Amino acid sequence: MRIAIASGKGGTGKTTVAVNLALSLAAHQSVQLVDCDVEEPNDHIFLHFRADQVRSVGKLLPRVDENLCTYCGKCAEACEFKAIAIIGNKVLVYNDLCHGCGLCAMVCPTGAITETPHELGIIESGEADGFQFARGVLNIGEAMATPIIHELKDELDPNHLAILDAPPGTGCPAIAAIHGADIALLVTESTPFGLHDLRAAVGVARSLSVPVAVIINRYGIGDDRVESYCAAEGIPIVLTIPFSREIASLYSRGIPFVKELAEWRDRFIVLYEALEKVATS
Amino acid sequence: MTICITSTGQSLDAPINPSFGRAPYFLFVDPETETAQAVKNTPGAHGAGVQAAQIVASNKATVVITGNVGPNAYQGLSAANIEIYVGAKGSARAALDDYNAGRLSLAQGPTGAPHGGRR
C-alpha cells in the first residue's frame, strides 16, 4: 500500500503524522518513509538518519549549436512551456521553464539541439529508526521539484508499505506525490484556512482517483466546520490529534510523540487499519 | 519606429495593462501618426513573458511601455535590443505622452516578480 500524506495548507502536521505513523508501524511490518517535500524536507529532524546512499537527480536541458541553427522557430513552436525562444537571430533557453521533455531536439530539422544533463538536487537514502528512509533535496535556486519526486517514487519497493510525506499545496509537487497513491491522508485543522485548503486537496486527490481520509490536527481549536464538511462529502475522519502542550513540546525538541506517549502507537496502528479499508473500498 | 504599449483594450484610450506578459492586448503604435494597431495576447499556462517578448520582437517594436516587466520577459526583450520603459499609468495615450516627455524610466533589469501578471 502506498499512503500519501498531504494537506493543501502548510504547517498542518504532515511530517508529524508521517514520522509517527512510520515509527508505529515499523515494529510490525516493513516500512518505507519518503520525504517528498524536496523544497523543505524535515522528516530527518525527527529521525536518527545517516544516508548510506546519495545520488544526483537532474533533467535534460537543450543546448543549441548556433552554427547549425537556422532560426526556423520549430523548437519554440513545439515547446509547451515556452522554455525555448527564437528572438531575432538569437536562441534563448530558459532553464527554469524547461521540463526536459526533449521535444525541441526531436523537431529540430538541422540537428542543432543536443540534450545535456543538469542537476536539480539529490536523493539520500538509508535506514532510520528501523525502517527505510529516503528524502529528496532540491538544490537552492532550482524551481522544479517534480523530477526528484518522480525518482523518489520510482525507487519504492511495491511489495512493502510506503508512506510519502507530500509537499504542501495543490500544485505540481503535491500532485506528483499524490498521483498513484492508494490513499491520500489529508492532515488539516479546523480553521477557515484549514478547511479552504482541505477542499482544494480533496479536489486534487479525487481528480487523480485517489481515495481520501482526513486527520484533524490541533483538535479543539477553531470550530466544527471541517467535521461538517467531511460528513457532507462522505470523507472519513480517521484520527484527531488534540491541541496539546505535551505534543507541541515534544515536537519542538524533535521527538516524535509516539516515543514518549506509547498509547499513540496503537492509535496509529488502528488508523492504518482504517486506511486499508478506505483504500480497498 | 514602432512602440509597443501593453493595454487592457484595443485603442489608445483604453487603460494600460500594468504587467507585461499577461497583458490582454499589445498596441503597436507609430509615434509620428499616433495610430495604433492592436494585437491580442493569448498567453498559455506557461511562459507568458517569453511568448509576449516574441510577439513584440516579431512586430518589430523597438520600445515597450508597460507597468512592470518580469525576469523572463526582460531577458527576451533585451535579447532583441528592445528598450523597456516601466511605471506607465492611465490610458495608453497618457503613457505615450509620459514617454515622449521623458517621465518614464528605462528598466535596467526585471522590475516585477515572475508570474506578476497572475497576482
Give the pLDDT confidence of A36-61 residue by residue, as tens digits: 999 999 999 999 999 999 999 999 99
Mutate to test the interface with B, among A92, A98, A144 (most CBs of B within 10 A): A92
In chain B, residues with a C-beta closer than 8 Å to the C-beta of A92 are: 50, 75-76, 79
**Cell 512602440 sits on residue:** B3
Does the pTM exceed 0.95?
no
Q: How many residues does chain A have?
A: 281
Q: A59-119: which CATH architecture?
A: 2-Layer Sandwich (3.30)
**Cell 482504517 sits on residue:** A274
- CA distance linking residue A156 with residue A162, whole number of Å: 7
**Stretch 64-93 of chain B: residues touching chain A, C-beta under 8 Å:** 72, 75-76, 79-81
- CB-closest option in B47, B48, B80 to A87: B80
Say whether pLDDT at A154 is over 90. yes
Fold held by B3-112 = Nucleotidyltransferase; domain 5 (3.30.420)
- β strands within A129-256, DSSP E: 131-138, 161-165, 183-188, 212-219, 237-242
**Cell 506578476 sits on residue:** B116
The domain A2-48+129-280 is placed in CATH, from the list 2.60.40.3500, 3.40.50.2000, 3.20.20.70, 3.40.50.300, at 3.40.50.300
Q: What is the mean pLDDT of chain A?
A: 96
- CA distance linking residue B60 with residue B3, whole number of Å: 9
Nearest chain B Cα distance for residue A73, angstroms: 11
**If pLDDT is split at 50, 70 and 90, which confidence band does B119 have?**
low
- β strands within chain A, DSSP E: 2-6, 31-35, 53-64, 84-87, 90-93, 113-128, 131-138, 161-165, 183-188, 212-219, 237-242
Q: Where are the domains of chain A?
A: 2-48+129-280, 59-119
Q: What is the per-residue pLDDT across A192-224, written as a single tens digit (0 to 9) for each?
A: 999 999 999 999 999 999 999 999 999 999 899
- CB-closest option in A79, A80, A92 to B76: A92
Q: What is the per-residue pLDDT across A2-34, written as a single tens digit (0 to 9) for each?
A: 999 999 899 999 999 999 999 999 999 999 999
Burial of residue A257, with CB atoms counted within 10 A of its CB: 0-12 exposed, 13-18 middle, 19 or more buried: buried
Q: Which grid coordinates belong to A26?
A: 515499523
Q: What is the per-residue pLDDT across A58-76, written as a single tens digit (0 to 9) for each?
A: 999 999 999 999 999 999 9
- The predicted complex's ipTM stands at 0.81
CB A16 within 8 A of CB A33: no
- CA distance linking residue B13 with residue B23, whole number of Å: 15
